[in-house]
Structure 1
Amino acid sequence: MITASISNNITHKKDKPAITLLMETNTTKEIRIAMLKGQEMKDHAAPNPIVVEIFEGEIIFGVDNKEFQLKKGDLIALNANEVHNLICIENAIIRLTIAKTDSVNRVNKVVS
């Protein structure tokens, strides 16, 4: 058994989203992204399917030349290699589920 908390020990960075690995299971890595209003994650893609959940706050999620306003409780799933971007419009806590074979370092490079 593995446990973690998406709402404990949250830290924000003033200049970019804060990425934290919450847990690693046999098949996935669960990542928390803490974003402040106005922060962005520019166009990028994951090598495997992902699931994004808005735990708190609100973002604009761009994919396939469309924008989706996502808020607390919303989820979106993407296939591998789908280019997407995020703009935080209200301080947000985001849960990102990536494949175990994917890298937290890759996610950190997106925000650098």
Structure 2
Amino acid sequence: MSTQVDGKLTRIEGLTELHPVEGDRPNIEKLAAATGATIVRLSFTAGQRMDDHKAGAPILVQTVTGDISFATADETVALVPGTAVHVDAGIVHRLVANTDSVVQLTILR
């Protein structure tokens, strides 16, 4: 998943790989923890969701493949490849997969 090179560079692989699981929630896999960020892959099958929750740190959520509806109390954003949202810590949000999708979650610390 990740390889640290010379203590200065962390190479992260597998960002586009869909690793689905059965059930209502996506498969959540930590790919790397590096200075200032943790990278997590979320693998959704169509219809899977993450109901209302919040993060303890700012996050960056971007769709690598597929189509995700990302919503807060005030707004819903269609996350497709090439689209990302930055969310401040403590903001309640939810995700619903409209198609099989892979999402990269970057937890900023």
Q: Please, what TM-score do these two structures have when normalized by structure 2?
A: 0.85
In the other structure, the counterpart of 1:92 is 101
- What's the secondary structure of 1:31's corresponding residue? strand
Report the aligned-residue RMSD.
Answer: 1.2
In the other structure, the counterpart of 1:22 is 31
Q: Report 1:56-95 matches (<5 A).
A: 56-95=65-104
Pairing partner for 1:50 from 59, 62, 67: 59
| In 2: Cα distance, 1:19 partner to 1:61 partner | 16
Q: Please, what TM-score do these two structures have when normalized by structure 1?
A: 0.82
Amino acid at match of 2:20: H
Q: Is the 8 A contact 2:72 2:93 kept in 1?
A: yes
2:20 counterpart of 1:12: yes
Q: CA deviation at 1:67?
A: 1.4
| In 1: Cα distance, 2:89 partner to 2:19 partner | 29
| In 2: Cα distance, 1:47 partner to 1:7 partner | 26
In the other structure, the counterpart of 2:45 is 36
Q: CA deviation at 1:65?
A: 2.8
The structure with the larger Rg is 2
**Contiguous gaps of at least 5 residues in structure 1:** 101-112
Identity, % of aligned pairs? 25
| In 1: Cα distance, 2:57 partner to 2:43 partner | 22
| In 2: Cα distance, 1:49 partner to 1:7 partner | 23
| In 2: Cα distance, 1:55 partner to 1:7 partner | 6
In the other structure, the counterpart of 2:5 is none
- Runs of 4+ in structure 1 over 3 Å off: none
| In 1: Cα distance, 2:70 partner to 2:19 partner | 22
| In 2: Cα distance, 1:87 partner to 1:26 partner | 30
Q: CA deviation at 1:74?
A: 0.6
| In 2: Cα distance, 1:57 partner to 1:72 partner | 7
**Contiguous gaps of at least 5 residues in structure 2:** 1-8
